[in-house]
Amino acid sequence: MAEAQTFELLKKKRKSFRTAVTKVVNELEAELSNSDLNIDRLSELVETLSIKFEPLTLVDQQLEPLFKPEQFDGEFEITEEYREKVLLWQFRAEKKINEYLKPRVTSPSFQTTLSHSQDEHFRNSDNIRIKVPKYYITRFYGDDASKWLTFWNSFETAVHNNESLNKVDKFNYLKAHLGGSALNTVEGFPISAKAYDEAVKLLKNRFANPEILIQAHMNKILSLQPLKNSNDLRSFRKFVDNCNVQLRSLNSLGVSSANYGKILCPMLLKRIPSDLLLDYNKLQQNGSGSDIQQLLSFLTQSLTAREQTYSTNKSSFKLYDCRQETKSNFSRERRSHKQQNQKSFHTACELLTAPVKENKDKIKLSCIFCESMTHNSNE
């Protein structure tokens, strides 16, 4: 009940915040379309929009874990639309302000050339800035350190190194793609250029520690689910891909495979089925069983051969699926159990009378008076 009340309260707050944000965006749009542009008013609206948008972002993050799975996609799409709209109008307003604040050039011909160059630059910048929200950057929650490199590499390419974005916009993008403990790390900072640098430094100090990252990726490999059957192509592909992802991450951290191969290679060999293990051991003529790159190369080649065989001749190559086998086994066990239950007794009356009925012709009762076996006591 308490959770339902919290959910409804947050939805009411979100509605109020969205109304306030929409109002400021409409005022920004009207001001930008005004021929007599008031730069001071425009600057005030940009600052107001940042202030109004921050609590809306916070409420969206609080609501996110409360949505049902079937509601999540629709709610997330609406949230992204609001975010993109706010960032777009912030950019347009800031561009106008920057144009106004640029020093004027006295030469008319040079001014025309410069103006054309600036317009071209801003058109290009506009395209880049508007496209930034379209980048797929996985949100980082901080609960799994092994996901930091994937997040930061994407964010660094799309936002952090984007020279057409100022640091205020970068900070907004950063907070929009954080959640959980990672977001808590940068909470409380004002939306400013200096705060962005401090926030990035804090995040790197906490989540980009090389020793922690190396341990996280090693644990990911050690916790891989064993591959039960080499003909289960889905599981086989997932197994190989997960191994490669973690090893690439370790290499990007400067860790050579020679340093961890002797530990991880025997662990991975225990997680592959016996037919693959047999084929791999046949190839080990020089006894280099601890070469993890060689092991992954062998697994990749084996998987590719099976996938090609299946795609070429599906009728002669049965696609094995552990889930289907599990489902089949479960169905057989269920039918067997049902048949056993049908043979068992269903009522107390049957429980008491059935043994007598079944054994009536087999059991001969003796006479209790003369102990004769030829007749019963009541005869």
pTM comes to 0.42
Distance of CA 283 to the CA centre of its chain: 37
Provide the token pair at 319: 């696609």
Query: Contact 42/31 with Cβ under 8 angstroms?
Result: yes
Taken in order 293, 296, 302, 304, the sign of the CA dihedral is negative
Rounded alpha-carbon distances, angstroms, from residue 76 to 34, 39, 225, 374: 34, 34, 31, 87
The one-letter amino acid code at 318 reads: K
Q: What is the pLDDT of residue 176?
A: 83
Spatial distance between the Cα atoms of 11 and 5, rounded to a whole number of angstroms: 10
Query: Contact 136/151 with Cβ under 8 angstroms?
Result: no
Query: Contact 230/319 with Cβ under 8 angstroms?
Result: no
- Can you say whether residue 365 is alpha, beta or left, with left for phi > 0 and alpha for psi between -120 and 50 degrees? beta
User: What would the 3-class secondary structure string for 175-210 be?
Assistant: HHCECHHHHHHHCCCCCCHHHHHHHHHHHHHHHCCH
The one-letter amino acid code at 147 reads: K
Q: Which phi and psi angles does 373 have, rounded to 5°?
A: -95, 5
Q: What is the pLDDT of residue 378?
A: 60
Spatial distance between the Cα atoms of 12 and 9, rounded to a whole number of angstroms: 5
Spatial distance between the Cα atoms of 352 and 356, rounded to a whole number of angstroms: 8
Q: What is the pLDDT of residue 164?
A: 83
Q: How far apart are the first and last CA of the chain?
A: 73
Spatial distance between the Cα atoms of 339 and 361, rounded to a whole number of angstroms: 27
| DSSP-assigned letter for residue 258 | H
With H, G, I as helix, E, B as strand and everything else as coil, classify residue 35. Answer: coil
With H, G, I as helix, E, B as strand and everything else as coil, classify residue 134. Answer: helix
Provide the token pair at 84: 């993109």
Q: What is the pLDDT of residue 232?
A: 84
Rounded alpha-carbon distances, angstroms, from residue 131 to 159, 191, 327: 11, 22, 45
Averaged over successive runs of 10 residues, the pLDDT of the chain (379 residues) comes to 76 87 87 80 82 82 77 80 83 80 50 47 44 61 82 86 86 86 86 88 85 79 83 86 83 72 79 87 66 83 85 59 49 56 52 49 54 62
